[in-house]
Amino acid sequence: MADLGVEFCDLHFKNPIIVSSIEATNSLDRLKLCIDNGAAGAIVKTLTDMPAMATLTKHSKYAILDETGEIIKGKVPRNFVFYSRSGFSSTLYEGWEKDLKAAQVYADRNNAHIIASVGASSLESWATISMMAEDCGVPIVELNLGCPHTSHMSGAKTGVRIGQVPELAAEVVGRVTAAVKIPVLVKLTPEAANLTDVAASAKKAGAAAVTVNSRFTGFAVDIETGTPRIGGPAAVGGPWIKYVTLRWVHDIYSSLGLPIAGSNGIFDWRDAISFIMSGARIMQVGSVLMLKGYDWVRQMIQDIDAFLDEHGYGSVEEIYGMASRNAVSSYDEQVGMGGIHAVINDEKCTRCWNCVGCCFYNALSRGEDKVIQNIDNCIGCELCFNVCPFEAVSFASKK
Ligand SMILES: Cc1cc2nc3c(=O)[nH]c(=O)nc-3n(C[C@H](O)[C@H](O)[C@H](O)COP(=O)(O)O)c2cc1C
């Protein structure tokens, strides 16, 4: 068995999976369920002083779509689309004090950690709620600068409205880091022009780590009725968004070296491994648990362990950031790399002509009984390799 432990924000986590701030963490009982199912931690649904954002959650709506845009009707596809509208914790922050303390005690007993997410209405409230969490014994506070719903909620000048502007983000982070001693984790929005700039601002203002990242706002249409799903714009995410999130994990890991919690697009162990290899220290799992149940966490942890064992890795630490360190730093560097050309294996080739149809460089053409190659024209783009069902395409170095 590999060592699954990770260090994050001065704490040891027994494995790299925690539950993100979401409906699955919206009460003491639900936080306990996360821990009972093996999560190394759980982030409380965002604590707030904003009644409108608590009310919004009591009117939550969800449309879970398949790749065609239809409601899944029970069968959860790997690339589901989670289109939804909900707010922050349905209980305002003052009402959480007792349960937050109890959750922390429960987590301590089970070698896990509770993280308090905060989303407030004013600079002072950001500090007040964070201090309340610290007083309850919570070891990390996460500032929710990513909530997409706040841009559609009148009077909710928080979440994405702050996270999109590096200076505003720094102001909030600075106020909170001046008020608490515990590490401050900053949840970024993918709707900022450049997440690395916001992360750099947050780091300068004292953030210990960043969560990369919250979800986008989308617009989903029911084409049968000509109406938007669940009434209008809403937050959108799902496993299909993973590659966009990983780009920012890679960028922030490579340029700032700031510890990262990965969120947005994790379905199973494969995604978690991709996040770790890109530079995330810990993985936040959210919407998949609302569809698959809490015990999905245990399965993910077992599967991560199996992957590490099968590949001869002794620990999560061993693969941390590996893909980011292996990445070429720019397109210029890629262009300068040695050339290759495709080689078609005539014995494996079945003359389906997929490769010919996809060759936009006139390197492959249709012969009478085989693919004709023009090596001089081949730029080694690898598209033919992607579309060949028979593994008949390999590559050789260009002389
Ligand atoms: C229904 C729903 C409610 C959410 N509520 C919160 C919240 O209160 N606070 C927060 O920081 N993020 C919230 N999120 C965002 C998640 O924590 C997470 O960042 C996002 O869903 C992406 O991760 P995933 O792909 O694992 O779902 C919510 C997401 C969903 C789907």
Place of tokens 């996270």: 163
pLDDT of residue 151: 72
| pLDDT over 80 at 338, yes or no | no
pLDDT in tens, 239-279: 999 999 999 999 999 999 899 999 999 999 999 999 999 99
Average pLDDT over residues 87-101: 97
What CATH number is attached to the domain comprising 130? 3.20.20.70
Q: Is residue 332 part of a domain?
A: no
Which is more confident, 328 or 324? 324
Cα gap 231→174, rounded to integer Å: 37
- Compute the CA torsion angle 46, 51, 53, 59 (nearest 10 deg): 120
Q: Is residue 346 part of a domain?
A: yes
Q: Is residue 90 within 6 Å of ligand 1 at its C-beta?
A: no
Residues 272 and 385 in one domain: no
Q: Where are the beta strands (DSSP E) in 145-231?
A: 184-187, 209-212, 216-218, 221-222, 227-228
Q: With beta carbons less than 8 A apart as the criterion, state whether 242 and 290 touch.
A: no
Q: Is residue 84 within 6 Å of ligand 1 at its C-beta?
A: yes
Cα gap 184→197, rounded to integer Å: 17
Phi, psi dihedral angles at 209 (to 5 degrees): -165, 165
| pLDDT over 80 at 53, yes or no | yes
Domain final position from 288, 307, 326: 326
Residues 50 and 176 in one domain: yes
- End-to-end CA gap in the chain: 46
Residues 304 and 213 in one domain: yes
Cα gap 53→69, rounded to integer Å: 28
Q: Is the dihedral of CA 249, 253, 258, 261 positive or negative?
A: positive
Which helix (H) or strand (E) segment holds residue 372: the answer is strand 371-373
Q: CB neighbours (10 Å) of residue 379?
A: 15
Q: Is residue 331 part of a domain?
A: no
Q: Whose CA is nearest to atom 28 of ligand 1?
A: 22
Residues 255 and 134 in one domain: yes
Domain final position from 303, 326, 349: 326
Q: Is residue 78 part of a domain?
A: yes
Residues 320 and 343 in one domain: no
Q: 68: which residues sit within 8 A by CB, 6+ positions away?
A: none
Residues 157 and 289 in one domain: yes
Q: Whose CA is nearest to atom 29 of ligand 1?
A: 22
DSSP letters of 314-370?
A: -BHHHHTTHHHHHS-S-HHHHHTSPPEEEEE-TTT-----HHHHH-TTS-EEE-SSS
| Ligand 1 centroid distance, CA of 306 (Å) | 28
pLDDT in tens, 127-185: 999 999 999 999 999 999 998 887 777 777 788 899 999 999 999 999 999 999 999 99
Q: Is residue 148 within 6 Å of ligand 1 at its C-beta?
A: no
What CATH number is attached to the domain comprising 379? 3.30.70.20
Q: Whose CA is nearest to atom 20 of ligand 1?
A: 264
Q: Is residue 287 within 6 Å of ligand 1 at its C-beta?
A: yes
Q: With beta carbons less than 8 A apart as the criterion, state whether 214 and 160 touch.
A: yes
| Ligand 1 centroid distance, CA of 24 (Å) | 10
Cα gap 8→14, rounded to integer Å: 11
Residues 117 and 266 in one domain: yes
Q: Is residue 362 part of a domain?
A: yes
Q: Is residue 86 within 6 Å of ligand 1 at its C-beta?
A: yes
Q: Is residue 1 part of a domain?
A: no
Residues 135 and 185 in one domain: yes
| Ligand 1 centroid distance, CA of 89 (Å) | 12
| Ligand 1 centroid distance, CA of 85 (Å) | 10
> Where residue 337 falls among pLDDT bands split at 50, 70, 90?
confident
Q: With beta carbons less than 8 A apart as the criterion, state whether 118 and 143 touch.
A: yes
Average pLDDT over residues 224-250: 97
Cα gap 24→295, rounded to integer Å: 12
Q: With beta carbons less than 8 A apart as the criterion, state whether 275 and 266 touch.
A: yes
Structure tokens at 172: 């909030």
The mean-pLDDT minimum among 163-167, 230-234, 335-339 falls in 335-339
Ligand 1 probe mutation, 214, 216, 270, 274, most atoms within 8 A of CB: 214
Q: Is residue 144 within 6 Å of ligand 1 at its C-beta?
A: yes
Domain ranges, residue 196: 6-326
Give the Cα-Cα-Cα angle 296, 188, 284 (nearest 5 degrees). Answer: 15
Q: Is residue 243 part of a domain?
A: yes
Q: Is residue 188 within 6 Å of ligand 1 at its C-beta?
A: no
Instruction: Give the β-pairing of 393-397 and 340-344.
Output: antiparallel
DSSP state of 3: B
Domain final position from 306, 326, 346: 326
21 CA closest ligand 1 atom index = 17
Collapsing DSSP to helix, strand or coil, 16 comes out as coil
Collapsing DSSP to helix, strand or coil, 75 comes out as coil
Q: Is residue 237 within 6 Å of ligand 1 at its C-beta?
A: yes
Residues 350 and 253 in one domain: no
Cα gap 272→103, rounded to integer Å: 25
Q: Whose CA is nearest to atom 26 of ligand 1?
A: 286
pLDDT in tens, 29-40: 999 999 999 999
pLDDT of residue 195: 98
Q: Is residue 190 within 6 Å of ligand 1 at its C-beta?
A: no
| Cis-peptide into 386, omega within 30 deg | no
pLDDT of residue 358: 97
Share of the chain above pLDDT 90, in %: 92
Domain count across the chain: 2
Structure tokens at 165: 């502007």
Residues 366 and 250 in one domain: no
Cα gap 140→105, rounded to integer Å: 14
Q: Whose CA is nearest to atom 22 of ligand 1?
A: 264
Residues 356 and 286 in one domain: no
Q: Is residue 232 part of a domain?
A: yes
Q: CB neighbours (10 Å) of residue 334?
A: 10
Give the Cα-Cα-Cα angle 389, 395, 397 (nearest 5 degrees). Answer: 170
Q: With beta carbons less than 8 A apart as the criterion, state whether 64 and 81 touch.
A: yes
Residues 317 and 223 in one domain: yes
